[in-house]
Structure 1
């Protein structure tokens, strides 16, 4: 969903009508994307590493915009008194706009992100909490058929087991983004959903508190996700993902269940590749059964219980010089929670560790230098100049760019892993 829709609207009434029609939509998760690596926190995972397009110049003052929003909210069933109380004295938050527009030139390598996400302390704390909440986890698994470990891993990644749920006023953050952000239609949808949460009485006494981007509670749900998937699991009459651990864990399980989670099956597993393997098969569009991958000589690095008929894709998060993984359906379910392969891989590895399994066996190429945003843009421009089709030069290494990189590597007689390394950029720079 994009703010560009607003730019083409010269009439404010038309704008409000179109915005209201989008109020039930959410950004769809893409199938197995090659997402940019996160720069710091789980929240940063969903941010693009490309230079953001500037937000459109506001057509209205904030007060005029608020009055139009009020009309839309009332038409959507929000009580007028609730709206007035919620917006009384509310101002824009410039820190939220800066956070929305902030895009780092350099991002952390995937192995550094995994190191932090699957740390010894997080594993140890997660194991203790898994034992402490075992009765709740068993009840949640009975209700939603989702394994204990993945829920604990999501809890740990999203809020450090409930210790860091954010401190922003969600209504203020979303109002700021809906008025002055880069994806105004999306943020307006979330704002209307947040008002519904208040009206339903699910918010804690101190109001809706969350991240600068409006993610809430111990499992960091966006308001639309909350309205659709949050549950009252402790039976107190409220869906309290802020203070109730049973509600938070069950809500995450409900969301994973709706995303197609297969209880008892792995998210994926690390594999060994034979010498001379065709790395071009590490393509998210290529799906084969585990048995078919075995025929190609791809086998798990450890004994694992998996359905041999399950479809899997081969994933090389750091290119052919790093570890390799077969990714199954549950990995795709995690991606629907957060649409980043780095995040989903961290959740999978953390859940494995919580179950007592070893970490990544193959070494990471830790001496590799990561491409900065400007270098990624240059790489895309050079690929285009050489007759390949990476898509727009936006600095985002997506499926089209990977495919173009793979084609260039094949022309050069290199391992066609689709990985945009610094060495590859140097070759493209050569006349």
Structure 2
């Protein structure tokens, strides 16, 4: 019988795509698991933990589907945020802040991470503990280590998950989580658990699935360890002056709060931190969308999840718990998602025009944003670095005009005789 790995590899190769799975397509899951068990035992994992973790184990086809799937569209920031920050979500978080005040204040006293920030992470990660995943973590990670795109990463995560079981922190039957192996109230990967998880309730075990104290102290310890700064926000919405130089809105363009204020930047409905704190301005949905002043703690959140949308949503949700208003953008921003194919086309077009995007991966990363800004400055457009539909149409017109001009040049390649 063919393994799922063999089937996927055959389909990909037949379709002309180099398969990341083909390197071990000939090995059955049973043989792979036997090899893995020998390695795990050599590293000190008990036979009892291995037997409990892998009883009747087989690759989980749904996990491979999720691992191999690629998003077709990129959500706009406001769509992303509005799906996650609702009045119901805010009200539920405020209620839980009151109910868990003693626990959360204890975490803040020890690690400096305020209650509203921990609550925002909890709400976004698992809807306040209601959606923690249902996949067996050892079997999900075994599937990904055997058949996934990042074999080595998930193999190491699997070994760490088994170390957690070996230490007795959770029963094998209760070690469940997301399809990618994240676990508990705060969705820690096993390696993060081993490095930062803490026994918050003092019972001698670290159970981030069933003990909210363990989960919250672990999150506080992790954030503190990666650079969280006390008494500093993540992000605050701001209004920008009409004459604002849009190219200054970039994560690497930092000024003090006082300097931004001197340029006419004004906060929306909140108090700013100390005037000497450094901050950047970012525009997650272009110059027509909301503008944020972001601080060092924004970069800390980005280490938790490397998504600007996610980090800004954590900051905004935390602010809403404290009574901050909903976002208000100065002008209506585009709401339709942009396809990754459209971004790839834009990247190729900008490259053809002499603006280096760093490749054509369909993701508007920092290199692509820089290329867009350079193009916008060259054409006296608002240099926000945003891959909007309007920008794409402008680039299309520029290429069309350039093509028409070259047809008038005698001897130019493609000129009609």
Alignment RMSD, CA only?
1.7
Residue correspondence of structure 1 range 117-128 to structure 2 within 5 A: 117-128=84-95
Residue correspondence of structure 1 range 225-244 to structure 2 within 5 A: 225-244=192-211
Structure 2 counterpart of 1:190: 157
Is 2:21 the partner of 1:56?
Answer: yes
Give the Cα separation in 1 of the matches to 2:332 and 2:38: 56
Matched residue pairs, number?
380
SS at 1:206 equivalent:
helix
**Distance change >3 Å, CA 180–CA 78, structure 1 → 2:** same
Deviation at 1:257, TM superposition (A): 0.8
Give the Cα separation in 1 of the matches to 2:362 and 2:136: 32
Deviation at 1:213, TM superposition (A): 0.8
Residue correspondence of structure 1 range 336-351 to structure 2 within 5 A: 336-351=303-318
Kindly indicate whether the alpha-carbon contact (under 8 Å) linking 1:53 and 1:182 is maintained by their aligned counterparts in 2. Answer: no
Compare 103-112 and 122-131 and name the one that shifted more: 103-112
Kindly indicate whether the alpha-carbon contact (under 8 Å) linking 2:76 and 2:334 is maintained by their aligned counterparts in 1. Answer: no
Compare 171-180 and 72-81 and name the one that shifted more: 72-81
Task: Tell me the alpha carbon deviations over residues 34-75 of structure 1, each in whole angstroms, 9 at most, x when there is no partner.
Answer: xxxxxxxxxxxxxxxxxx985321423222222222232123
Structure 1 counterpart of 2:187: 220
Deviation at 1:363, TM superposition (A): 4.7
> Normalized against structure 2, the TM-score is what?
0.87
> Normalized against structure 1, the TM-score is what?
0.85
Structure 2 counterpart of 1:299: 266
Deviation at 1:393, TM superposition (A): 0.6
Is 2:388 the partner of 1:421?
Answer: yes
Give the Cα separation in 1 of the matches to 2:329 and 2:385: 19
The correspondence for 1:145, drawn from 112, 115, 125, is: 112
Task: Tell me the alpha carbon deviations over residues 209-255 of structure 1, each in whole angstroms, 9 at most, x when there is no partner.
Answer: 00111110111111111111111111111111111111111111111
Kindly indicate whether the alpha-carbon contact (under 8 Å) linking 2:79 and 2:335 is maintained by their aligned counterparts in 1. Answer: no
The unaligned stretches of length 5 or more in structure 2 are 1-16, 401-417
Compare 178-187 and 84-93 and name the one that shifted more: 84-93
Give the Cα separation in 1 of the matches to 2:153 and 2:21: 14
Give the Cα separation in 2 of the matches to 1:132 and 1:193: 33
Give the Cα separation in 1 of the matches to 2:180 and 2:44: 24
User: Whose relative contact order is higher, 1 or 2, with alpha carbons under 8 Å and at least 6 apart?
Assistant: 1
The unaligned stretches of length 5 or more in structure 1 are 1-51
Task: Tell me the alpha carbon deviations over residues 129-174 of structure 1, each in whole angstroms, 9 at most, x when there is no partner.
Answer: 1100111112111222210100011111111111111100111111
Give the Cα separation in 1 of the matches to 2:103 and 2:265: 38
Task: Tell me the alpha carbon deviations over residues 183-223 of structure 1, each in whole angstroms, 9 at most, x when there is no partner.
Answer: 11111111111011111111246231001111101111111
Kindly indicate whether the alpha-carbon contact (under 8 Å) linking 2:246 and 2:382 is maintained by their aligned counterparts in 1. Answer: yes
Give the Cα separation in 1 of the matches to 2:308 and 2:232: 19
- Based on CA coordinates, which of the two structures has the bigger radius of gyration? 2
Structure 2 counterpart of 1:385: 352
Structure 1 counterpart of 2:221: 254
Give the Cα separation in 2 of the matches to 1:179 and 1:122: 38
Task: Tell me the alpha carbon deviations over residues 313-371 of structure 1, each in whole angstroms, 9 at most, x when there is no partner.
Answer: 11101100111111001111111111111011111111001111222122563444332
Structure 2 counterpart of 1:329: 296
**Distance change >3 Å, CA 235–CA 364, structure 1 → 2:** farther
Give the Cα separation in 1 of the matches to 2:199 and 2:141: 24
Structure 2 counterpart of 1:170: 137
Kindly indicate whether the alpha-carbon contact (under 8 Å) linking 1:232 and 1:238 is maintained by their aligned counterparts in 2. Answer: yes
